[in-house]
A and B are shown apart, each in its own frame.
Chain A
Amino acid sequence: MGRTSIWVDLLKLLVSFALLWLGYTYISPMIPTGWLPNGSWDPDAITLSIEQEEDLGEFLMEIFEIQQSEKVSPKVDSALWVIENRLLTNLGPTDYEYKFMIIDDPMVNAMTLPGGNIIVYTGLLAVSDTPEEVAAVLAHEIGHAEQRHVVDKIVAELGITFVMAVLTGGDPGLVREITQAVVSNVFSRSQEQEADQFGLDLLERSHIDPHALAAFFRKLNRENLSYDAEMEWLMSHPHNNSRIKASLAYKVEEGFQAEPIAIDWEALKSSL
C-alpha cells in the first residue's frame, strides 16, 4: 500500500486503455457493422466487414476456379490485364485489392463477387467490338464493388447469420445458395444507376470514351441479345432505355481526350 499503489493504478489505466483500443481494433472486423467504405456509417447497412467480404470473395472465386474446365489462353489473360490495369490505375483510393478472373464460356456475362473479385466470361469479349466496350462493362462492375452492392444484396437476401455460417463452416448447401445469389446478380434500379455513374466517371478518369458503355448497350439492343437470360446481370430493367440515354448524355470535361487501349482486338477475338 502507499505510494506504490498510485503507480499500480496508473499501470491499470494504461493497460485498460490499450486493451480497449487494440481489443476493438482486432475484434470489430469480426462483427458485422454499418461502416461504409467511404468512412460514413449507415445503421441500415449492417453488413460484412471488408475483411469478411474479402474472405467470402476468395472462397467464391475458388469455387468458380474449380468449376472452370479449360484455361483461357495467355493472350486473352494479358488483354484483360491491359484493360483492368488502365481502370485500376485511375480508380484512386479503394478498400479492395481487385482480382479479375476470365472464364472460358460463350455466355455474355460478367459478375462482381464480394471483396473486389470480378469474373468475366469470354462470351463478353467475343460480342464486344472494341476493348473500350469491355472496359465500360468492367468499370460498371467495379462500380458495383465500390458501392458494396453485391455484399449488401447477399446479406439482404440470405441474412447476415447465413453468410457468417458460410464463412465459418462452408456447409455445401449453404455454399450452393450463396453462389446462386451471387450468380443471379440482379440489382435494383438505383444500384444499376449508381454503378453506371461510377463506371462512366471511372472511364473518363481512365481516358476511355465513356460513351463506350452506351455503345455496348445499344449493340445489345440492336443485335437482340437475350436480355432476360444472358444479360440480366447488366440490364436489370431491359425495357427502360433511360440508362442508355444517361450514358449517351454523359458529358466529359473540356479537353478530354480518349486514349485507345492498345490491344489488337480482332486478333484477340479470333483466338477465342
Chain B
Amino acid sequence: MEEMNPPMETQINPRYYPLPQPDEIPEREREDAMGGYLMMFAAVASSLPLPIINLIAAIIYYYVNRKKSRFIHFHSLQSLLSQLPTTFMNWGLLYWAIMVWTSTSWEFDDYFKGYIFAVVVANLTYVIFSLIAAFRAKKGRMYYFIFFGKLSYDMVFSVSNTLVYKGEREVSSENKPPF
C-alpha cells in the first residue's frame, strides 16, 4: 500500500518545496506529527459506536497544528484525509445495521455481509498503516499512504501552498530582490 520514499524527481521538482530531512526536524515536531495518528486512535475508541468524534478530533488537531511546520502539516493532513473514507464507511455500516434491525424490508443478506467484510478490512488496513506512519513520523521520516500520501504531499509541499509556517516566517523577510 505504501511508497516509502517520494520519487527523486519530486525532491528537485521546482514546483515543490524541498522535503525536510530527519536531522533537520526537531523532536517536538516529530512528536506533534506522530500525535496526528495516535490521537485519532484514542478518539476512535471513545466514539464507538458513533464514528463521528474521531473525525471532529482529527479536524481540530489538524487546524491547531498545521501551521507549526510542513512536516507536521503533512502528517496531520494525511491522517485526517485517510480517515475520511473509513469514517464514511462506518457510518454506512451503522445505518445499514440499524435498517436491518428495525425494518423488515432490509435483510441480513450477502451484500450486507460483504460490506461488513470490506469495512472491517478497510479499518484494519487503516489502523495498521496509521501505526506505521506514526512510528515513521517519530523518526522524522515521511511516509506516504496510497493516494492520501501523494495528495497530502501535493497540498503541503507544493509552491502554490501559501500557508506561512512558524519556522519559515523568518525566511519570508521584508527584503525583496530587485527583480
Contacts and interface: CB of A to CB of B under 8 A. Distances in A.
B171 to A, nearest CB: 26
A13 B114 contact: no
Interface string A1-41: 10101100110110001001111111011000001000100
B146 A13 contact: yes
Given A22-B114, A28-B114, A29-B110, A93 B104 contact: yes
A6 B121 contact: no
B113 interface: yes
Nearest to A22: B114
A260 to B, nearest CB: 29
Interface string A72-107: 000000000000000000000100000000000000
A9 B147 contact: yes
Interface size class of A (residues with CB under 8 A): 20 to 34
Contacts of A17: 118, 122
A20 B121 contact: yes
Interface residues on B, range: 20 to 34
B9 interface: yes
A252 B118 CA distance: 45
B100 interface: yes
B150 A39 contact: no
A10 B114 contact: no
Contacts of B113: 24-25, 28, 35
A93 B106 CA distance: 11
B118 A21 contact: yes
A219 B107 CA distance: 41
Contacts of A1: 7, 9
B179 interface: no
A28 B9 contact: no
A24 B150 contact: no
Nearest to A23: B114
Nearest to B153: A6
A21 B117 contact: yes
Nearest to B150: A6
B150 A5 contact: yes
Interface string B138-161: 000000001100110010000000
Contacts of A39: 100, 108
A32 B154 CA distance: 46
A56 B74 CA distance: 56
22 contacts: A1-B7, A1-B9, A3-B154, A5-B150, A6-B147, A6-B151, A6-B154, A9-B147, A10-B147, A13-B85, A17-B122, A20-B117, A20-B121, A21-B117, A21-B118, A22-B114, A25-B110, A25-B115, A28-B113, A28-B117, A39-B100, A93-B104
Given A6-B154, A13-B147, A17-B118, 5 more contacts: A1-B7, A1-B9, A20-B122, A29-B110, A93-B104
The 3 nearest A-B residue pairs measured at CB: A25-B114, A9-B147, A21-B118
